[in-house]
Structure 1
Amino acid sequence: MNFIPYLEEKVLEQIGTFDLKIPKYQRPYKWRKEHVIQLLDDLYENIYQKPNNKYRAGSIIIHQDGNDCNVVDGQQRLTTLTLIFLFLKRQKNISSDLKLLFGTKFKNIISKNNIKYNYKVIENWFNSKSFDNKDLQYFAKKIETQLQFVQVTVSKQDEAFQLFDSQNSRGKALFPEDLLKAFHLREMEKDGYPEIDLEKYSIKWEDYILDEKKLINILGHHLFRIRKWTKGDKEYSFSKFHINEFKGISLSSKNMYNYDLPFRVLEGYSQNTQNDRLLRNFHIPNKYPFQLTMPIINGKNFFEYVFHYLELNEELFYKTEKNRFNSFYNQLCFGNNTQKYLSEDFEYEKSWRTGDVKVRNLFENICLLYVDRFGIGNFDKVYFEEFYKNAYQLRLDNKAISDNSILNYKKGQKFFKSIPNSYSPEELHSDLFCNYFSEKKWAEQDFVSSTEDIYGYLKGGKNAG
């Protein structure tokens, strides 16, 4: 039976009587040492040392689904409080009737590692205090009766997530990649995927976050910017306020529109080929034919979309085997002369300055958009050389480069219109060829430092090997 969301002030012992569960779409337990110590210090100062004081520790959102009470927001604090009472029970023999999250099985390796580490942090914190058994019993009872939350209870999952998104848009608890993961795992649940699939995509998502922040890089520096720039939107920095860019067609929705029918058909086709042994035997392609600027299909398809572009980005820019573009990219974008594209050394020792990184990202996104449309096999040197010349003129012309410098730079931004509107690479030629017409000869005082060889290449003074 559905009911209107309601808000109550509750102390921990009231919340702790519920059979709380962590939904599969939740992020891992990520609190660090400083968060745990801050909570313990707050409890000590505001509850233990103040006899009649109630201390409010924020809000939690509960989705009441039948007999289950799913924690939509607040799991980091509740998990830490569970660890505190676990320590008090196990090692100090302090009794408590709190259920909290004692029955929860944490499968994610990130959660497991943080739980083990933070349990030790809690142990060290208590051992540093001169508590006797009576003090600990008093402290535990005070936490149960004086630690207060604002509990928001809803019966509909959509309402829970609306609150979840708005709650975190005002705070700093979640990053956009956390919100997107939760949203699309929830969509997978709606589409009927089993728990093992949700866990698989959740773990892979988190692995990419930890792997040199590759996930954050592909979402914020590449996919978000390219999708916005192809639409003419002058957006640069990706945040939690922009996550709707990565929400789209819900396959579980009963509302169907003409525009989404081709994508539903393609999704069904790709799923069928994966499950059809005959089609697999004939090597019929079973991967969804992603295009960078396509509408997002919520759920599993979104995760596959992001993973596809992580792999394409890796293949294009970081492939270890030698190829013409990779040699060009490493030598002219970083000054790495171990794998030469030009016949002579190319000096670029300050390629990691903020402005230089912005220009390089502009060049990378033009290349990624081109390869996405026409394929790596059609990425001839005439294209990547001219993309470079168009992008890197900005580095020569501007000593300071801001986000707006990139957004308003016509020689670079024009490709985000022309590439998606071209049906063959040759159609780009009218926008492609770029000569550098500066009348100035190279002088350190007239150009930003460490760009002399860029100047030489754009003026035609450095040639390919």
Structure 2
Amino acid sequence: MKEQDVKVTVCSFLELFTKEAIFPIGIDTYQRPYVWGEDKVQELINDLTEYLKDPKGLCYYMGNVLLHQHNQKQKLFIIDGQQRLTTLSILYFVLNGKFTDGDKMTMEYHSPLSTLNIKKTQLLFDGIKEQWKDKADFLFSNINLTCITTLEEDMAFTFFDTQNNRGVKLNPTDLLKAYHLRSIGNAEYLDIQINCASRWEKIQSYNTLFGQKKDYTAELFHQFLWRSRVWRGQRVIYRENDNEVLNEFQKNTLPNQSSVTIPLYPNANNTLGKKLTIKVNQGYTIQPANIESSNNSAHLPFTLRQPISDGLGFFLFAEKYADLVRLLLVDKDLKDNEIKAFRVFYNQVWSNVSLYLKELYVLSTVMYYDKFGSEKLLEYCLWLDHVLGAIRIEKQYIFKEAPLKFLKESDNNLLDVISQAFRTEEVILFLKKINNTRAVYSNEKIKSGKGVQGWYKQNVLGYYDKSDFNQKHNWINENFINTKLNSK
């Protein structure tokens, strides 16, 4: 690294946009939307209010800003600091009725989430507009930042990965997005980068299913993709953390020789293709048979436990499973009777079950559908309920270790059984043979409709139109399943 490749200066917000920036400051395609919420903005307002009461001749310091000087595009791209710079720019606009002088303010936002949050932030700043208007020049001349400008993008991300500042801490999925967009290549593949960034923003716009994550991409990678790939065997099964997610989907991905073509692997979704080539805005082609497919990402020929290629392969893999989960649980225009029947059962019985059991129920169903499609989907889901429901009936309190205990203590890991099975009957037979479920249902004394166990019992009995759990294992039969599949 040459000394001239990195420039470090301390400057005010005004100086950054009027003197320090040799090119207009912008936001690259891989950056996430503007996500500061009311709590972060109000925190800044409170801090600045205290500062303006008694500056004591000091500046108000807001941490580091990382910039990549892209000479070819003649832009200073923000690597880190977008949230703070956006918030300060909104405040500047509210107090001055314009952006900073000159042509150095070129930050553009394309996500609806950014638009929504910018409007909310502006409304908050409108509340202090009259109090601060006369202090605007002083304020923006004394809000200081350390600006680190690099000529190499990779060098900027090296700084980014190791520093910690006042900004919103990025999720692992934000880092994964940046890493894999950079893996796509140079300006020759800008259309592919933009296309992949657009796919990612589409996934981010989805509502979360479990409510534990603010961003659907975080939920997808933590609660579906990581677990489906790593929860193997029965000896070592543990819950994920941020570093584990990064290791699996960044360090463990495979380098790809082409930015537009990725290798394929034999699986139930793919018996002919050896590689896939993307055609921006026109779907994709599977070679060598040149099979044209649709734009429905849920049908991409991947499987959950296959190797993932970096760059394009990563984004297509993420989009496939984001849309597959939505196909099972969210999409409204359903034509497949098996999926319709599963959705009815899920909404009636499992949508309000304990989070930890529900996560395993949905994950197992996603893995089953990924392997076999909708073949015998309802039968599988009813037997899965029979097994996991016994845990709900037996335990008044369900802790986060319950799913791991189930996978470890069964005769085999259910997720491995699904992944390795050749026929649907193998998986269903495995569920039927799990010990102790009959005894749990025969011996339970739970009052229907009372407490979490009672509500579950009431919902199950309502679905099967029964009054108690006597001989429950006999309820799941061909006649009952056909009735549910043919009901409207």
Task: State the TM bucket, normalised to the shorter chain.
Answer: 0.7 to 0.9
Aligned with 1:300 (options 312, 335, 350): 312
Aligned to 2:197: 202
Structure 1: segments with no counterpart, 5+ residues:
255-259, 337-347
- 1:404 corresponds in structure 2 to 401
Match of 1:391 among 388, 397, 409: 388
* Identity of matched residues, %: 22
Deviation at 1:74, TM superposition (A): 0.5
Q: Structure 1 420/451 Cα, relative in aligned 2: closer, same or farther at 3 Å?
A: same
Q: Which residue does 2:153 correspond to in 1?
A: 157
Q: Output the amino acid matched with 1:193.
A: Y
Aligned length: 430
- Tell whether the 8 Å contact from 2:66 to 2:147 is kept in structure 1 after alignment: yes
Q: Kindly state the Cα deviation for residue 26 of structure 1 after the two structures are TM-superposed.
A: 0.8
Q: Residue 235 in 1 paired to residue 232 in 2? A: no
Cα 1:316–1:108 shift into 2, 3 Å: closer
Equivalence for 1:251: 256
Query: Deviation at 1:292?
Result: 0.7
Equivalent position amino acid for 1:323 in 2? N
- Structure 1 residue 456 corresponds to structure 2 residue 475: no
Other-structure match for 2:225: 223
Write the letter of the residue equivalent to 2:400.
D
CA distance in 2, matches of 1:429, 1:445: 30
TM-score, normalising length: structure 2? 0.73
Q: Is 2:6–2:151's contact at 8 Å kept on the other side of the alignment?
A: yes
Tell me which residue corresponds to 1:344: none
| Residues 128-158 of structure 1: per-residue CA shift (max 9 Å, x gap) | x175xxx43xx413432x3222333333322
How far residue 191 of structure 1 moved from its aligned partner, in angstroms, is: 8.2
> Secondary structure of 1:294's partner?
coil
Q: Is 1:316 equivalent to 2:328 in the alignment?
A: yes
Does the residue aligned with 2:161 lie in a helix, a strand or coil? helix
Q: Is the 8 A contact 1:442 1:452 kept in 2?
A: no
Residue aligning to 1:257: none
Contact kept? 1:227, 1:293, Cα under 8 Å? yes
> Equivalent of 1:62, from 67, 75, 94?
67
Give the aligned partner of residue 206 of structure 2.
211
Match of 1:341 in 2: none
Residues 71-101 of structure 1: per-residue CA shift (max 9 Å, x gap): 101011112222333344437xxx96676x5
Superposition RMSD on alpha carbons, in Å?
Answer: 4.1
Residue 31 of structure 2 is aligned to residue 31 of structure 1: no
Structure 1 range deviating more: 200-209 or 301-310: 200-209
Query: Could you tell me how far apart the structure 2 residues matched to 1:278 and 1:301 are?
Result: 14
Q: 2: CA distance between counterparts of 1:96 and 1:369?
A: 52
2:303 maps to a residue whose letter is: Q
2:189 matched residue in structure 1: 193
Q: Cα gap change, 1:362/1:142 in structure 2, threshold over 3 Å: closer, same or farther?
A: closer
Q: Which amino acid aligns with 1:62?
A: L
Q: Which whole-Å deviations, capped at 9, do the CAs of 1:157-200 have from their partners, x for residues lacking one? A: 223223333446997532333333333333334484324x4444
How far has the Cα of 1:123 moved from its partner?
Answer: 3.6
Question: Do 1:43 and 1:143's aligned partners in 2 also have CA atoms closer than 8 Å?
Answer: no
| Paired amino acid for 1:57 | M
- Quickly say closer, same or farther: Cα 1:406–1:203, change in 2 above 3 A: same
Contact conserved, 1:188 with 1:198, CA < 8 A, in 2?
yes
Once the two structures are superposed, the pairs formed by residues 76-87 of structure 1 within 5 Å of their partners are: 76-87=83-94
Letter in 1 for 2:224: H
Q: Measured at CA, do residues 448 and 31 of structure 1 come closer, stay the same or move farther in structure 2, by a change above 3 Å?
A: closer
Deviations 1:230-289 (A, max 9, x none): 3665233554762332221232599xxxxx9766x9675434897999999985448752
- How far the C-alpha of 1:203 sits from its partner, in A, is 3.9
Counterpart in the other structure of 2:359: 361
TM-score normalized with structure 1 length? 0.76
Per-residue CA distance 1:374-405 (angstroms, 9 max, x = gap)? 332x3355533333333322222322222211
Residue 464 of structure 2: aligned partner: none
Q: After TM superposition, give the deviation of residue 311 of structure 1 in Å.
A: 2.5
Quick check: 1:47–1:143 contact (8 Å CA) kept in 2? no
3-state SS of 2:367 partner: helix
Amino acid in the other structure paired with 2:469: G
Instruction: Please tell me whether residue 352 in structure 1 is matched to residue 357 in structure 2.
Output: no
Q: CA deviation at 1:115?
A: 3.4
Counterpart in the other structure of 2:413 = 414
Change (3 A) 1:285 1:367: same
Deviations 1:286-320 (A, max 9, x none): 87520111122222322222221223223334564
User: Is residue 342–residue 378 contact of structure 2 (8 Å, CA) maintained in 1?
Assistant: no
Is residue 83–residue 167 contact of structure 2 (8 Å, CA) maintained in 1?
A: no
| Cα separation, 1, equivalents of 2:364 and 2:161 | 32
